[in-house]
């Protein structure tokens, strides 16, 4: 059952061949069989999942169902879920149960998608390996020595291992696409503002954007249809007409101008990854695409700009975790200052504390202009690079990450090297553009994703390119042997 596409699953549910309860139970069984080792879930919610599945079956029987009704889902533990712990991968929120649902959760609940549980992640989404979670690292289903990527590593691993058909993720600097690449699955970060941030625990508000993690581009299109749309509770939500992200699936790629930036293939890129990406681009050419050379001259400014701006926003976003109203509170505080200092020192992990300090420093008196203001200027330069590039191409293709998945522990002591793993994904977040990662092969026996970046609101086009690519390749159908 876990090898079906979402559309096939839906057809079987609607025809009565299977029930949502059976489908949900199938995934719950796989979770109990595999997750002990994989550690992809922070919380599994079998009773809730099955009761939601029963309700979904009734909905289907009543003829009141949508395509995704009855299809179970796993939510990254950054989406607030009414009545279920939302930890954000942190000791700080280990005891936090939100009395509300994130907007995305509300939408998917309404459709009738049983919630299997909440997936592991880097603490407060700060990381590229899911190792910074308070709940321990998630393993890469393709190789348990490897990281699944991050921060949505739990969601990516769950999809790769077939422990859920669909999962939500968030992408602040590559947190959907990089784990999708590392785990050999499909993930899309939509245009900033396409999906409501309401109820998603904030890391860096001007970058955070939720997206689906799925087995195929087609699955992502269906799921994005359900997740996206204007929400008046998020002031940065885009007030646009509802988009059908499946609308372009099936269109020919003839004449598609593929921008390939020379800057993407320089030093630091693993040669095996380069081979995979160049081969994949050749495949798209076979579908009618034409490669054009484009330039993103300010690409190298993106990571430094991001590591000023995102921590700056985070330093304020995470101030609310002070031990006063919710979350972790230190034992026996002596006074207010002691309460603040110890609750935050003990409740946050190292990487979170590092970014809060970096961010507070960048905003502090005397440094604001040199760091924060400068970084905003770089952000505009990076965005302008893309605008210029899209004058001569329809989409930009390249690697998602310079390497395939690295080993657990390999980069733990070298944060800069970890940060540089996001050099291809971060510019896209700085610009707020949509971008897709689709599995395109293997490097060093670990999966590699092809990165497809488009202009604002080009999600339907990106998903069709991924879909067409997946019509002539079968990377997305492959599963690690032990999980088949």
Q: Does 199 bind other proteins (CB under 8 A)?
A: yes
Q: Does 97 bind other proteins (CB under 8 A)?
A: no
Q: Does 460 bind other proteins (CB under 8 A)?
A: no
Residue 198 or 264: the one with the smaller Cβ distance to other proteins is: 198
Residue 322 or 351: the one with the smaller Cβ distance to other proteins is: 322
Q: Does 315 bind other proteins (CB under 8 A)?
A: yes
Stretch that binds other proteins, among 115-123, 191-199, 253-261, 440-448 (CB under 8 A): 191-199
CB of 408 to other proteins, least distance (A): 28
Q: Does 368 bind other proteins (CB under 8 A)?
A: yes
| CA–CA gap between residue 378 and residue 302 (Å, rounded) | 7
Out of 175, 196, 220, 343, which one is annotated catalytic? 175
Q: Does 340 bind other proteins (CB under 8 A)?
A: yes
CB of 112 to other proteins, least distance (A): 23
Q: Does 247 bind other proteins (CB under 8 A)?
A: no
Among 96, 230, 265, 442, binds other proteins (CB under 8 A): 96
* CB neighbours of residue 236 within 10 Å: 14
Residue 110 or 233: the one with the smaller Cβ distance to other proteins is: 233
Residue 160 or 176: the one with the smaller Cβ distance to other proteins is: 176
216 annotated active-site: no
Size of the site for other proteins (CB under 8 A): 42
Q: Does 82 bind other proteins (CB under 8 A)?
A: no
CB of 220 to other proteins, least distance (A): 23
Among 52, 111, 202, 433, binds other proteins (CB under 8 A): 202
Residue 53 or 352: the one with the smaller Cβ distance to other proteins is: 352
Residue 349 or 449: the one with the smaller Cβ distance to other proteins is: 349
Q: Does 326 bind other proteins (CB under 8 A)?
A: yes
CB of 216 to other proteins, least distance (A): 29
Nearest to 431 by CA among 381, 372, 374: 381
Out of 10, 130, 132, 151, which one is annotated catalytic? 151
CB of 343 to other proteins, least distance (A): 11
Among 32, 33, 364, 484, binds other proteins (CB under 8 A): 364
76 annotated active-site: yes
Q: Does 232 bind other proteins (CB under 8 A)?
A: yes
Among 158, 188, 204, 479, binds other proteins (CB under 8 A): 204
CB of 447 to other proteins, least distance (A): 31
Token pair belonging to 188: 């899309």
Token pair belonging to 282: 């050749």
Nearest to 421 by CA among 437, 399, 440, 441: 399
Out of 76, 91, 139, 411, which one is annotated catalytic? 76
Token pair belonging to 286: 């076979």
Positions that interact with other proteins (CB under 8 A): 80, 86, 88, 93, 96, 98-100, 102, 197-202, 204-206, 232-236, 312-313, 315-316, 318-320, 322, 324-326, 336, 340, 360, 363-365, 368, 372
Residues catalogued as catalytic: 76, 151, 175
């Amino acid at each position: 059952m876990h090898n079906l596409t979402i559309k096939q699953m839906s057809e079987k549910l609607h025809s009565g061949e299977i029930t949502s309860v059976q489908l949900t139970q199938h995934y719950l069984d796989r979770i109990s069989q595999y997750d002990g080792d994989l550690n992809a879930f922070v919380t599994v919610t079998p009773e809730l999942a099955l009761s939601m599945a029963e309700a979904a079956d009734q909905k289907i029987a009543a003829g009141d169902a949508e395509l995704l009704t009855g299809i179970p889902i796993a939510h990254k533990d950054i989406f607030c879920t009414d009545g279920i712990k939302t930890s954000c991968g942190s000791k700080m929120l280990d005891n936090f149960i939100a009395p509300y649902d994130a907007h995305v959760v509300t939408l998917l609940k309404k459709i009738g998608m049983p919630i299997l549980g909440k997936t592991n992640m880097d603490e407060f989404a700060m990381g590229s390996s899911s190792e910074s979670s308070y709940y321990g690292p998630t393993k890469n289903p393709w190789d348990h020595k490897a990281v699944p990527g991050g921060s949505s590593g739990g969601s990516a691993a769950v999809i790769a291992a077939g422990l859920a058909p669909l999962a939500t993720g968030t992408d602040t600097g590559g947190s959907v696409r990089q784990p999708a690449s590392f785990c050999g699955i499909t993930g899309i970060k939509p245009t900033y503002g396409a999906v409501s941030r309401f109820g998603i625990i904030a890391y860096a508000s001007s970058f955070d954007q939720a997206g689906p993690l799925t087995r195929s581009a087609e699955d992502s299109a269906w799921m994005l249809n359900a997740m996206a749309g204007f929400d008046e509770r998020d002031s940065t939500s885009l007030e646009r007409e509802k988009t059908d992200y499946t609308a372009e699936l099936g269109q020919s790629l003839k004449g598609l101008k593929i921008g390939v930036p020379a800057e993407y293939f320089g030093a630091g890129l693993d040669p095996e990854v380069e081979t995979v990406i160049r081969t994949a681009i050749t495949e798209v050419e076979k579908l009618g695409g034409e490669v054009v050379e484009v330039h993103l001259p300010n690409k190298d400014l993106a990571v430094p700009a991001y590591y000023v701006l995102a921590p700056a926003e985070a330093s304020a976003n995470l101030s609310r975790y002070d031990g006063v109203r919710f979350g972790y509170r230190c034992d026996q505080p002596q006074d207010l200052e002691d309460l603040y200092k110890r609750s935050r020192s003990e409740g946050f992990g190292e990487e979170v504390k590092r970014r809060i300090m970096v961010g507070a420093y960048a905003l502090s008196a005397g440094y604001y202009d040199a760091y924060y203001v400068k970084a905003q200027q770089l952000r505009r330069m990076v965005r302008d690079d893309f605008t210029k590039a899209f004058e001569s191409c329809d989409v930009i293709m390249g690697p998602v990450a310079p390497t395939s998945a690295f080993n657990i522990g390999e980069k733990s002591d070298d944060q800069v090297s970890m940060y540089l793993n996001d050099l291809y994904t971060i510019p896209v977040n700085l610009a707020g553009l949509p971008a897709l990662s689709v599995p395109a092969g293997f490097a060093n026996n670990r999966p590699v994703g092809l990165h497809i970046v488009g202009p604002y609101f080009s999600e339907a086009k990106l998903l069709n390119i991924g879909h067409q690519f997946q019509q002539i390749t079968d990377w997305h159908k492959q599963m690690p042997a032990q999980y088949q």
